[in-house]
Amino acid sequence: MYIETQGSANVWDDGYPSGGNYWSNYDGVDLFSGPYQNMTGSDGMGDTPHVLDVGHVDHYPLMKRAHISEPDAAVTNVTSAKTIIGQGYGGNVTVTAQYLGDLTENFNVTTYANLTVIGTLNFDLTSGSTASNLFVWNTTGFAYGNYTLKAAADVVSGETNTANNNFTCSVPVHVGVPGDISGPTQGVYDGTTNMRDINYLILLFNTNPTSPNWKPNADVNNDGTVNMRDIQIAILNFNKHE
């Protein structure tokens, strides 16, 4: 006999219209509805109670098993605040995950730049919930070039739908010469740190994430403000190129 409980072990129904449990040996019919099961039309509950034994009765036995979702962890987004990161400096990466199964699940999401692991985040999510976590990608040791960010959630126990465990960011991130954040086209790197970059930093001086003209790429050292520290980095790397 299959029993699917909705309350504690000693409570066999939760009243109407929440109902009770599914019983594989219940042979009643569902022709009526309502608290007294005397109204026209079915409601998914048996018209007669299911008697377990003396003193134990499910007054609203379910005609079908309640739907149970299989475990399903998903990654719905991965983004980088910067599209240009100076080699050896950091950039904020945000990963968004969702749990589509029942109950609660704890799982890790690993983020890659091309094939290299750059961060692992832990998510503890209830059914249907979504959360975003942030980490700093330190580009020390990464060669100059474009990198594609991809986040992959661990396969949780019992999960069969793994297609949504992975998410790839559509915007590449370039690791370049520190301070190279502009060029002939303002705000577009050109492979060399020079006066164009310093002038751009001066234009954005003292801006931060609350500023209407905030440009994350200009925050070279990733401290949340464009200031003399960023200009100094550009000066120290003056005329360096990829």
Q: Which residue has the higher pLDDT, 4 or 227?
A: 227
Q: Tokens 């379910």 identify what position?
A: 62
Asked if residue 242 belongs to a domain, the reply is no
Do 164 and 186 lie in one domain? The reply is no
Question: Are the CB atoms for 197 and 185 separated by under 8 Å?
Answer: no
pLDDT tens, position by position, 131-157: 999 999 999 999 999 999 999 999 999
Asked if residue 157 belongs to a domain, the reply is yes
Look at residues 57, 53, 76 and name the one whose alpha carbon lies nearest to residue 15.
57
pLDDT tens, position by position, 31-51: 988 889 998 888 888 999 988
Do 122 and 107 lie in one domain? The reply is yes
- Residue that finishes a domain, picked among 136, 153, 175: 175
Do 134 and 158 lie in one domain? The reply is yes
pLDDT given for residue 4 in this prediction:
46
The share of the chain scoring above pLDDT 90, in percent, equals 71
- Residue that finishes a domain, picked among 42, 67, 92: 67
pLDDT tens, position by position, 182-218: 999 999 999 999 999 999 999 999 999 999 999 999 9
Asked if omega into 216 is within 30° of 0 (cis), the reply is no
Do 45 and 105 lie in one domain? The reply is no
Give the least confident one: 6-15, 94-103, 188-197, 217-226: 6-15
Our count of domains for the chain comes to 3
Asked if residue 52 belongs to a domain, the reply is yes
Do 55 and 104 lie in one domain? The reply is no
Q: Tokens 């905030």 identify what position?
A: 214
Asked if residue 214 belongs to a domain, the reply is yes
Q: CA–CA separation, 226 vs 192, rounded Å?
A: 19
Asked if residue 187 belongs to a domain, the reply is yes
Q: Tokens 């007054």 identify what position?
A: 59
Is the pLDDT at 6 greater than 70, yes or no? no
Do 146 and 161 lie in one domain? The reply is yes
Q: Which CATH number characterizes residue 190's domain?
A: 1.10.1330.10
Q: Which domain holds residue 93?
A: 73-175
